[in-house]
Amino acid sequence: MSTAVAAERRAARPAALFLVVGLAGFITTLDNTVVTVALPSIQRDLGARLAALEWVATGYILTFAGLMLAGGRLADVCGPRRVLLAGLAAFTGASLGAGLATSVPLLVAARLAQGAGAALILPATLAVLAGREERQRSMGVAVWMASGAGALALGPVVGGYLSQYAHWSWVFLINVPVGAAVIALAWAGVPAGARSGRSLDVPGVLASVVFLAAGTFALIHGGEYGWTSAPVVAALVTCLGGGIAFVAVERRAPDPMVALGLFAARSFTGGVVAQVFWGLGVNGVFFYTALFLQGVLGFSPTDSGMAFVPLALLVVLVTPLAPVLARRFGAGHTVAAGLTLVAGGMAAAAFLEAGDGWGRLLPAVCAIGVGSALTMPLGSAVLGAVPESRAGVAGGVFSVSREISGLFGIAAIGVIVHASGSFAAGYAAGLLVAAGLVLVGALVSLATLP
C-alpha cells in the first residue's frame, strides 16, 4: 500500500465511514422485504397479474444474489469507493424509476436494476472497511451487520406503514433522498484507495452469475412451481452446470476471481459456514413468522409488525458490545454464545400456542435479538482472514452466503411446514429444526474462529 493511500485512510473519519456503511447496508437489505406488504396495493393500481407481481418481489433478490460475487470482484479490481458510488447511483436511480413506474414491466425492470446496484454496494462496503485497523474494522462490520438485521426486521413494518398511510410508490421513493445522502457522504468520507491492477476474470464472472442466478431462481420458485416442474428443473441443471464451469474456470485462471485458496483460511471458511447456518435457521423461519403471529396467536397486522421492533432495537443497542466482547473472550466464543441465544429463543417460540400474548412472545424475541447482535464478529473474522486485495470478493462470498442460505432456509422450512398436519404444528417443528441448525453454527464458530 502506498504512503499516500495509507495517510488518506488514517485521515478518514471512522464515524463517516460507519454512517455510510450502516445506511448503505440498511437500504439494500430493506428492499428485500419492504415490498411484500405493498404488493396488494401495487396489484390494484397497476392491474398486475399474480405471476407478474411475484417478479416485483423476487426480481430484486434474483439480481442481488446473482451478481454479488461479480460486484465483489469489481470492488477488488476498480477500487471499493468507485464501485460503491456506482452501485449507490444505480440503486438510487432504479428506486426513482420503481416509484414512478406506471406499468408492471417498468416496475419489474426497475427492481432488477435495484438488485444489480445493491450487488455492487454490499461487497464494496465491506471492502472499504478491510483496510482499517482491527478495532475500527470490527466496529464497522458490526454496524454493517446490525443495519442489515434491523432492516430485515423492520422491512414489513415500513412497507405496511407507507402503503397504508402514503402510497405504495413511497416504498421505493424513500430510497431516493437516503441514497442521495449516502452518495454525498461516501464521496466525502470514504477514502479513494487505489486500483489493484488485477484483471476482471470475465469467464469467472459469467460463470458465477449463471450459477448464482439459476440457483436463486430455483430456490425462490421451487415451492411455488414444484421442485419437479420444468422451469425449476431447468434452473437446477443450469445452476449445476454453472457451478462446475465456475470451479473449472477458477482452477485454470491466472488471476481467478475467487481464489480457491481463500477457503484454506480457517477463519474465512468457518465464518462463512457459521453465517450459512445462521441464515438457514433465522431467515428460514422469519418468512413464516408474520403468518404465525396473525393466524395462530391472533395478532393484528399492526401488532405482528410491531413484534419485530424489539428485535431490531436490541440488535442496534447490543451490537456495539459485540466487538468489545470479542476482544475480551474471542470471536469464536462471542459468536457461539450469540448463536446459542438465538437457538434458545427459537426453541422457546416453538412452544407458543393460540391465545398466547406479548408476555410469552417477548422473551423469545429478545433472546433472538441479543443473540443476533453477538454474531457481529463473524464478518470481521472473515475479512481479517484474507488479503486486503481480495476483500471485495471475500465480502461478496460472505454476503452471498447470507442471501442464498436464507432462500434455502425458506424453502427447507417450507417443506416442513407444508408437510405437517397444521400450520401451527409445522411452524413449531420448523422452529426446532432451525434452532438445531443455528446450534451447528455455534459449534462451527467455536472450532474455527479465533
Does residue 56 surpass a pLDDT of 50?
Answer: yes
Work out whether the CA dihedral 7, 13, 16, 20 comes out positive or negative: positive
Does residue 54 surpass a pLDDT of 90?
Answer: no
Burial (CB < 10 A; 0-12, 13-18, 19+), residue 268, is: buried
| pTM (two decimals) | 0.81
* β strands within 150-279, DSSP E: none
Does residue 113 surpass a pLDDT of 70?
Answer: yes
Task: Give the closest residue to 431 by CA, choosing from 368, 362, 359, 358.
Answer: 368
Question: What pLDDT score was predicted for residue 11?
Answer: 43
Alpha-carbon gap, residue 61 to 118, rounded angstroms: 10
Alpha-carbon gap, residue 441 to 63, rounded angstroms: 27
For residue 269 the three cell numbers come to 471458511
Alpha-carbon gap, residue 372 to 349, rounded angstroms: 16
Task: Report which DSSP code applies to 129.
Answer: H
285 band by pLDDT with thresholds 50, 70 and 90: confident
pLDDT tens digits along 68-96: 989 998 998 888 999 999 999 999 999 99
296 band by pLDDT with thresholds 50, 70 and 90: confident
pLDDT tens digits along 172-225: 999 999 999 999 999 988 887 656 556 778 888 899 899 989 988 888 888 778
Work out whether the CA dihedral 49, 53, 54, 58 comes out positive or negative: positive
Does residue 417 surpass a pLDDT of 90?
Answer: no
Q: What angle do CA 271, 276, 282 make, to 5 degrees?
A: 120
Question: What pLDDT score was predicted for residue 293?
Answer: 81
pLDDT tens digits along 377-399: 888 888 888 887 788 888 888 88
Task: Report which DSSP code applies to 174.
Answer: T
For residue 36 the three cell numbers come to 411484500
Alpha-carbon gap, residue 297 to 358, rounded angstroms: 10
301 band by pLDDT with thresholds 50, 70 and 90: low
Task: Give the closest residue to 98 by CA, choosing from 88, 106, 90, 89.
Answer: 106
Contact predicate 389/257, CB 8 Å:
no
Give the CA count within 13 Å in the CB-facing half-sphere of 374. Answer: 23
**Mean pLDDT, range 410-417, rounded to an integer:** 80
pLDDT tens digits along 118-164: 999 999 998 888 777 777 888 888 888 788 877 877 777 787 778 77
Alpha-carbon gap, residue 252 to 282, rounded angstroms: 37
Q: Is 295 helix (H, G, I), strand (E, B) or coil?
A: helix
